[in-house]
């Protein structure tokens, strides 16, 4: 569950969409053994979680097996954190900062109005260039089905149009 409130993020559908993204990127078992995904590094599994404990800044841990520095609930790369931290005036890589960055990324790909209005499948398609686990992603990684993601969205309180 997002640490930021619905009022801070733009409504309950936005919170539900972020929860769906965490479900998609991290998975329910790993969310359960971490700080709801906020402290997860790329390459983690529920049996072998790779977690960080300091939210002061992005951990910038390179996982050589994945060739990635992705970290946090929405698996943000370190290089992107630097610019988002400056542009959004974020104090750290804490949960609220991670939520704010994810909403900004959603805004940048034009999906925020669709999320607010419950146009779930359209919003997922618009965000697939950012999150590798979404249907339509071109990253060549595991992709979740739209039906599973929609179920996670609705379970998190999202409302469809």
Query: What is the spatial distance between Cα 152 and Cα 23, in angstroms, rounded to a whole number?
Result: 7
- What is the set of active-site residues? 25
The predicted structure's pLDDT at residue 150:
98
Length reported for the chain: 161
* Fold observed for domain 6-155: Lysozyme (1.10.530)
78, 58 Cβ separation under 8 angstroms: yes
Query: What is the spatial distance between Cα 135 and Cα 137, in angstroms, rounded to a whole number?
Result: 6
Residue 76 phi, psi (nearest 5) = -85, 135
Rama region for 96: left / alpha / beta (φ>0; ψ in -120 to 50; rest): alpha
The predicted structure's pLDDT at residue 141:
85
The predicted structure's pLDDT at residue 139:
86
Q: For each of the chain's 161 residues, which pLDDT tens digit applies?
A: 999 999 999 999 999 999 999 999 999 999 999 999 999 999 999 999 999 999 999 999 999 998 999 999 999 999 999 999 999 999 999 999 999 999 999 999 999 999 999 999 999 999 999 999 999 999 888 899 999 999 999 999 999 99
Kindly tell me the burial class for residue 81, based on how many C-beta atoms sit within 10 Å of its own C-beta (0-12, 13-18, 19 or more).
Answer: buried
- 114: helix, strand or coil: helix
1, 110 Cβ separation under 8 angstroms: no
């Amino acid at each position: 569950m997002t640490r930021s409130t619905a009022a801070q993020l733009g409504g309950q559908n936005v919170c539900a969409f972020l929860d769906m993204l965490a479900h998609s990127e991290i998975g329910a078992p790993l969310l359960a053994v971490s700080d709801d995904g906020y402290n997860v590094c790329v390459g983690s599994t529920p049996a072998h979680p790779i977690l960080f404990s300091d939210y002061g800044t992005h951990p910038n841990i390179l996982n050589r097996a994945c060739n990635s520095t992705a970290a946090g609930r929405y698996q943000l790369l370190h290089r992107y954190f630097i610019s988002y931290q400056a542009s959004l005036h974020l104090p750290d890589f804490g949960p609220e900062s991670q939520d704010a960055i994810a909403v900004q990324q959603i805004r940048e790909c034009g999906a925020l109005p669709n999320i607010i209005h419950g146009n779930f499948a359209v919003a997922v398609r618009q965000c697939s260039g950012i999150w590798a686990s979404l249907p339509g992603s071109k990253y060549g990684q595991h992709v979740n089905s739209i039906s599973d993601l929609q179920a996670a969205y609705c379970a998190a309180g999202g409302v469809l149009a």
